[in-house]
C-alpha cells in the first residue's frame, strides 16, 4: 500500500489537512506500506516557500514521518508537457480562448433564470471553442498542428469518454463507463461507475492546461499519483466528483486507477468548510495555544 498527502503551499494547514494526512499515514503504517508527501505548487503566484516550510514543520509536530524524497510539482513540468503532447497528438485537446465572463454569458443566453449545469470544475463548458478554435482548426486537423504553448487546452470529453470508457455488464443492462473503487465516502462506498453520457453532460470539456501554468490540478495529480506509485488516494469528499476526470485521464494515458478514500470534511462550529484563508483554524494556531498532537487527533474525531 502506498498512500500520500498532497497539500498546496498556499496557506497554513488546517484541521482538515491534518485529518487527511493522519488517515493516509496511519493507513500506510498499519499495512506496512509507504506514506509519501507531495507539494502541489503549480500555482506559482500563490505558492510560497514559507508555507512549504510550515507544512514540513506541522507534519513533524503531528508525529507523521513520510517515506522517500518529497515530490514537488514545480519540478515536474516536463512530465506534464509530455502528457499534453500525447493527448494533443491524439486530437483529444482543443484550444479555448474564452474568459470566465464569455462562459457565463454563453451559458445564460438560452435559458434565462435557470441555473446552468455545474460540474466538478464549475459551470459545464458550453463548447464555444469546440470545432473551430483560435487557429481555425477543425476537429480532424487539430493534431496536425503543433501543440501551442501558453494556451488554455480543454479535453474533448465526448471523444475522450469514447476511448476511456469500457464496456461493463451490470444488473439491468450493460453500459460504457469508467469505474473506481471508493472505500470511505459515506454515500458512495463500493464501485462507482460514471457512464459515457454522464462524463459528457456532468463533467464536460474540462481545462487540462491553464495558459499561465502549462498544466492543471487534474492532469498533475493523475500523473503524480501514478509516478509515485500511489495505490490509495486519501483526500476530502470535496474532490469526489473530480475523480471522474482523474479516472478518465488514467484510462487515456494507460495509468493504473488507485483505490480512493474521500473522507468527510472537517467543518468549523458554524458548519462551514474550513477555508485556507481562514487562518483562525490553522494547526499552528492550536499548537501555539498549547494543543498536543493527541488533542488534534481527538478534534478531528480520531
Give the per-residue contact string, 39-58, with ligand GLU (x = CB under 6 A; - = no).
-x------------------
Report in angstroms the alpha-carbon separations of 182 from 157, 196, 233, 235, 267: 23, 19, 10, 11, 22
Choices 1-9, 80-88, 122-130, 163-171 (CB under 6 A): range interacting with ligand GLU: 1-9
In the complex, minimum distance from the CB of residue 82 to ligand GLU, in angstroms, rounded to a whole number: 21
Kind of pairing, strands 118-119 and 207-209? Answer: unpaired
261 in Cβ contact with 183 (< 8 Å):
yes
The angle subtended at Cα 214 by Cα 247 and Cα 157, nearest 5°, is: 35
CB of 21 or CB of 153, closer to Zn ion:
153
Q: Quick one: what does residue 213 bind among ligand GLU, Zn ion, none, with the CB cut-off 5 to 8 Å set by partner type?
A: none
| Contact set for ligand GLU, span 6-25 (CB under 6 A) | 6-8
Extract the C-alpha cell encoding 223. 500523473
- Tell me whether residue 298 is exposed, middle or buried, using C-beta atoms within 10 angstroms of its C-beta: 0 to 12, 13 to 18, 19 or more: exposed
In the complex, minimum distance from the CB of residue 4 to ligand GLU, in angstroms, rounded to a whole number: 8
Ramachandran region of residue 13, left (φ > 0), alpha (ψ -120 to 50) or beta? beta
CB-side neighbour CA atoms (13 Å) of 302: 21
CB of 98 or CB of 300, closer to Zn ion:
98
CB of 8 or CB of 152, closer to ligand GLU:
8
Give the per-residue contact string, 62-101, with Zn ion (x = CB under 5 A; - = no).
----------------------------------x-x---
Extract the C-alpha cell encoding 15. 484541521
- First-to-final CA distance of the chain: 21
In the complex, minimum distance from the CB of residue 129 to ligand GLU, in angstroms, rounded to a whole number: 27
CB of 161 or CB of 221, closer to ligand GLU:
221
In the complex, minimum distance from the CB of residue 109 to ligand GLU, in angstroms, rounded to a whole number: 33
| Contact set for ligand GLU, span 182-221 (CB under 6 A) | 221
Kind of pairing, strands 71-72 and 93-96? Answer: unpaired
Of 38, 86, 1, 25, which Cα lies nearest the Cα of 217? 38
CB of 152 or CB of 216, closer to ligand GLU:
216
State yes or no: residue 235 binds ligand GLU (CB under 6 A). yes
From candidates 1, 71, 200, 239, binder to ligand GLU by CB under 6 A: 239
Q: How far apart (Å, rounded) are the C-alpha atoms in residues 143 and 207?
A: 17
| Positions of E strands within 202-244 | 207-209, 232-236
State yes or no: residue 128 binds Zn ion (CB under 5 A). yes
In the complex, minimum distance from the CB of residue 17 to ligand GLU, in angstroms, rounded to a whole number: 7
Extract the C-alpha cell encoding 183. 472505500
Residues that bind ligand GLU (CB under 6 A): 6-8, 40, 221, 235, 239
**Binding-site ranges for Zn ion (CB under 5 A):** 96, 98, 128-129
Amino acid at each position: 500500500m502506498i498512500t500520500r498527502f498532497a497539500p498546496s503551499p498556499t496557506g497554513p494547514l488546517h484541521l482538515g489537512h491534518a485529518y487527511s494526512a493522519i488517515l493516509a499515514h496511519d493507513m500506510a503504517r498499519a499495512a506496512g506500506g509507504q506514506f509519501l508527501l507531495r507539494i502541489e505548487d503549480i500555482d506559482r503566484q500563490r505558492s510560497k516557500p514559507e508555507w512549504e516550510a510550515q507544512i514540513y514543520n506541522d507534519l513533524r509536530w503531528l508525529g507523521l514521518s513520510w517515506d522517500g524524497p518529497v515530490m514537488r510539482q514545480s519540478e515536474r513540468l516536463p512530465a506534464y508537457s509530455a502528457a499534453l503532447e500525447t493527448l494533443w497528438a491524439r486530437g483529444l485537446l482543443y484550444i479555448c480562448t474564452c474568459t470566465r465572463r464569455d462562459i457565463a454569458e454563453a451559458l445564460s443566453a438560452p435559458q434565462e433564470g435557470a441555473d446552468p449545469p455545474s460540474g466538478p470544475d464549475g459551470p459545464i463548458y458550453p463548447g464555444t471553442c469546440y470545432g473551430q478554435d483560435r487557429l481555425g482548426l477543425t476537429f480532424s486537423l487539430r493534431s496536425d498542428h503543433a501543440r501551442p504553448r501558453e494556451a488554455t487546452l480543454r479535453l474533448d470529453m465526448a471523444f475522450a469518454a469514447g476511448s476511456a470508457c469500457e464496456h461493463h455488464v451490470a444488473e439491468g443492462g450493460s453500459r460504457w463507463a469508467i469505474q473506481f473503487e471508493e472505500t470511505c465516502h459515506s454515500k458512495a462506498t463500493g464501485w462507482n461507475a460514471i457512464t459515457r453520457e454522464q462524463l459528457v453532460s456532468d463533467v464536460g470539456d474540462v481545462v487540462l492546461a491553464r495558459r499561465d501554468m502549462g498544466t492543471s490540478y487534474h492532469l498533475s495529480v493523475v500523473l503524480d499519483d501514478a509516478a509515485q506509485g500511489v495505490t490509495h488516494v486519501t483526500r476530502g469528499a470535496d474532490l469526489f466528483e473530480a475523480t471522474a476526470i482523474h479516472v478518465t485521464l488514467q484510462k487515456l494515458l494507460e495509468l493504473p486507477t488507485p483505490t480512493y478514500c474521500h473522507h468527510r470534511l472537517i467543518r468549523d462550529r458554524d458548519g462551514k468548510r474550513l477555508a485556507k484563508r481562514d487562518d483562525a483554524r490553522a494547526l499552528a494556531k492550536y499548537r501555539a495555544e498549547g494543543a498536543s498532537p493527541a488533542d488534534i487527533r481527538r478534534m478531528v474525531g480520531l
